[in-house]
Amino acid sequence: MKMLIAVVQDKDSGQMSQLLVKRGFRATKLASTGGFLRAGNTTFLIGTEDEKIPEVIEIIQQSCKSRKQMVTPVSPLGSTVDSFMPYPLEVQVGGAAVFVLDVEQFHSF
């Protein structure tokens, strides 16, 4: 058995959740926040059999698309506001970060 931890952008989480349910997968959704952009994310915890990992990965790839977005950096901690000049940056957002972990034991009560 495997545990997939998928961190996705909030914009992609609704579609991903629907596809998981449609294909018979159950997942736990957690609200999370990214460290770089401090933007909302959704973290999915998905437990499944080893042979179904490719199907779950396919669902994630279908749902989570990367895109470019203009952002203004947040002032770094400890710096004076006068010396910090925030310029908008184009960054890639979206997509998904997926971790696949071995599950030694699983219990349902």
- Contact 12/94 with Cβ under 8 angstroms? yes
Maximum Cα–Cα distance across the chain: 57
Each domain of the chain, given as residue ranges in start order, spans: 2-74+86-102
From residue 56, alpha-carbon distances to 10, 40, 51, 108 in Å are 18, 22, 10, 21
Chain mean pLDDT for the chain: 84
18-58, pLDDT tens digit by residue?
999 999 999 999 998 876 556 678 999 999 999 999 999 99
Looking at domain 2-74+86-102, which of 3.40.50.10190, 3.40.50.10280, 3.40.50.10540, 3.30.70.120 is its CATH number? 3.30.70.120
